[in-house]
Amino acid sequence: MDKFVINGGAPLKGEVAISGSKNSSLPILAATLLTPERCVIRGVPDLSDTRFMVEIIKHIGAEAEFKDGVVTVEARKIRTIAPYDLVRKMRASVCLLGPLLGRRRKAKVSVPGGCIIGPRPIDIHLKGFRALGADVRIEKGYVIADGKNMAGGTMFLGGRFGSTVLGTANVMMAAAVTKGTTVIESAACEPEVVDLAQFLVKMGAQIHGAGSPTVTIHGVEHLHGAEHTVIPDRIEAGTFMTAAAVTGGHVTLKGARPDHLGAVIDKLLEAGVKVERAGPDMVVRGEGRREPADVITMPYPGFPTDMQAQFMTLMTITPGISVITEKIYPERFMHVAELGRLGANIALEGSSAIVKGMPKLSGAPIMASDLRASAALVLAGLVAHGQTTVNRVYHIDRGYERIDEKLRALGARIERQK
């Protein structure tokens, strides 16, 4: 099991290329199962999650190859069962339900488990399939769906903590090849949903309104093969922007999409960080005095829950008091105790963290608990005095492509050790 050893204090300087989006790649790869024809997906980041999705696709019966950021899939014949031993390793594999139901009109997919940031039920996914006329039940840990009577329908997919991104994607994929018109109300508006819709349209789907709360799908009989390049990863971009801010650095982000980062940019500006557009690139300057900024995580276009932990790291060394409230996953504060080991002053009050900025953090051994917490702890190590060891970095390898190499190229003193 790998770990990062970081000697903090070096401002990040230089250019970093932003990889393709993990959260776009996974449902788009699943969507290739909707056609027997060849699909080529470019810009796929080389991560443990994307490699695993390719393996699942191959297990189901498709031919798939992943090389140099390009995944080629031909799903001429596919099975309809995704067993527990596969699905348990990656929660996003639940997005296989939509393509299997759409293509084969039946599916048997293991119910994914919870994770360290709290339970993430799939009841809204199942509600959407039932609104399409599918017979769906959970039996012995599996979702068993029969879609022989599926037809277009109208549904509301809002949940307790907002719209569901994977649920919207799942229903959209199934509805694309279901006779009739489907209307999804309270659809997720995230860029990753728009990216999936654009790929489906290239395949021949008729989808309107993606990126808004109302998505309309006119079902077609068949989809064909297509080529597509996934969007840049807005969370990776936000993480490197915050890394530049934390270290007082000067970093140019190549290939980022500022139109996907409005809430993050707004809060960085509020905190005194300089963010500028330079043609197709973004420049972040973290020098100078910072100000505290309160954050409430919300569904897109609000501040993303996947940036909460990284922004908290910035606030730990920002003079004053800031309040960070988690509205998506109220239990997503596992990084707080580890930041405390580095000297951060953070108090938890329900779904809010009250952060009192300290003059400095001090290096120490710390333990990563989940993907975004890992990124926050790495950022803390970059600014902490002395040496920080971040253990269990397999979490970060799920969502950041060669993050240690990219940080080292910017001047960070970070090493990966077994």
Per the CB < 8 A criterion, the answer to whether 280 and 253 are in contact is no
Q: Which of 39, 95, 115, 189 is catalytic?
A: 115
Using DSSP's 3-state secondary structure scheme, residue 392 falls into coil
Helices (H), 187-233: 191-202
Phi and psi torsions of 103, nearest 5°: -80, -45
Strand partners, 380: none
Whether 115 sits among the annotated catalytic residues: the reply is yes
Q: With CA atoms as reference, report the closest residue to 407 among 231, 248, 251.
A: 251
Amino acid identity, position 321 = I
What is the rounded CA–CA span in Å between residue 101 and residue 88?
A: 20
Residue 256 CB burial class (10 angstroms; 0-12, 13-18, ≥19): buried
Dump the DSSP string for 62-126.
-EEEEETTEEEEE-SS--SEE-HHHHTT-GGGGGGHHHHHHHHSEEEEEPP--BTTB----HHHH
| Burial environment of residue 26 by CB neighbours within 10 A (0 to 12, 13 to 18, 19 or more) | buried
**Of 411, 415, 418, 387, nearest to 240 (Cα)?**
411
Q: For residue 220, how far is the Cα from the chain centroid?
A: 29
Q: 3-state secondary structure string, 306-317?
A: HHHHHHHHHHHC
The residues annotated with a catalytic role in the active site are 115
